[in-house]
Amino acid sequence: MPQHSSDTRTALVVVAHHRSDSLTAHTARRAAAQLEAAGYRIDLLDLHAEGFDPRMNVEDQPDWGNREKPYSDETHRHMRRILDADVVVAVFPVYWLSVPAVLKGWIDRVWNYGFAYGRSKPRLAGKRILWLALAGATADDPIAESMQSVLEANLSDGIAYYCGFSRSAVGLLLDAEERPQRVDAEGNLLVGEAVAGAEREAQYADFERRARKLVEEFLADELVAA
């Protein structure tokens, strides 16, 4: 599969949330606008809106050990979108210290053996990826540090590095819930009062500031690498 030939840089923004009115979807749209302002052509992939099926099937992987095997038509279409992108930005809520099933299934089905890995020269070599992970945990929650570490090990080390990406960054966006919440030592969920009015506006303004900064830092690293 040849690489995208246009001089225009392309950013594939992948949204993994079932609601178009969610903070995740909003964050993805804002990130896309930020990337577009930086000169990228945007390919917005809303996995739920496009009806992507995360379940691996025999047509996707008719012969696992054959690197040149044919893939399903749907998988081929998504492979093409990845190949055409210089940058991938995945935006998702954190589920159980990991990604939602629809995003994991997209990686399982599309980042397949023979395409994303398993070759002497990875087809995704040189591409860059930013993972924007939204979490309900508060910034002062003791789990925040381990959440960052687990996501980095899983996404950057276990996936992006394995597939030849030249840069992978995990941006953890804490305080994504309007009600602060945490789990105590006995496993009880402690939910605080919902913020409202000016306090709520300030909370979400800070959230957007942090999200924007993560994208800015990722783009700045790209300029340094260039």
pLDDT tens digits along 71-86? 899 999 999 999 999 9
DSSP state string for the chain: -PPP--SS-EEEEEE--S-TTSHHHHHHHHHHHHHHHTTPEEEEEETTTTT------TTT-S-TT-TT----HHHHHHHHHHHT-SEEEEEEE-BTTB--HHHHHHHHHHS-BTTTBSSSS-TTTT-EEEEEEE--B-TT-THHHHHHHHHIIIIIIIIITTTT-SEEEEEEE---SSS-EEE-TTS-EEE-PPP-HHHHHHHHHHHHHHHHHHHHHHHHHHHHH-
Contact between residue 134 and residue 24 where contact means Cβ atoms under 8 Å apart? yes
- Structure token digits, residue 11: 């950013």
- Return all residues near 123 (Cβ < 8 A) that are at least 6 apart: 1, 83, 115, 116, 164
Average pLDDT, the chain: 89
Confidence of residue 4 (pLDDT cuts 50, 70, 90): very low
* 126 has a pLDDT exceeding 70: yes
Closest C-alpha to 83, from 47, 115, 105: 115
CB 143 within 8 A of CB 94: no
Higher pLDDT, 67 or 133: 133
Comparing 57-66, 92-101, 170-179, the range with the smallest average pLDDT is 57-66
Which of these ranges, 46-50, 141-145, 147-151, 183-187, has the smallest mean pLDDT?
Answer: 183-187
Q: Is 213 left (phi over 0), alpha (psi -120 to 50) or beta?
A: alpha
| Angstrom distance (rounded) from CA 98 to CA 205 | 26
Choice among 36-45, 51-60, 65-74, 120-129 with the minimum mean pLDDT: 65-74
Q: Rounded to whole angstroms, how far apart are CA atoms 158 and 203?
A: 33
Angle at 57 between CA 54 and CA 63, to 5 degrees: 130
Q: Is the pLDDT of residue 1 over 70?
A: no
- Residues 174-187, mean pLDDT to the nearest whole number: 79
Residue 203 is predicted with a pLDDT of: 84
- Strand pairing partners for 41? 10
For 139-176, how does the pLDDT look when each residue is reduced to its tens digit (9 = 90+)?
A: 888 899 999 999 999 999 999 999 999 999 999 999 88
Q: In this predicted model, which residue has the larger pLDDT, 30 or 185?
A: 30
Closest CA to 98 of 16, 28, 167: 16
pLDDT exceeds cutoff 50 at 122: yes
* Percentage of the residues of the chain whose pLDDT score is greater than 90: 65
Tokens found for residue 114: 């023979």
- The encoded tokens of residue 186 equal 């006995």
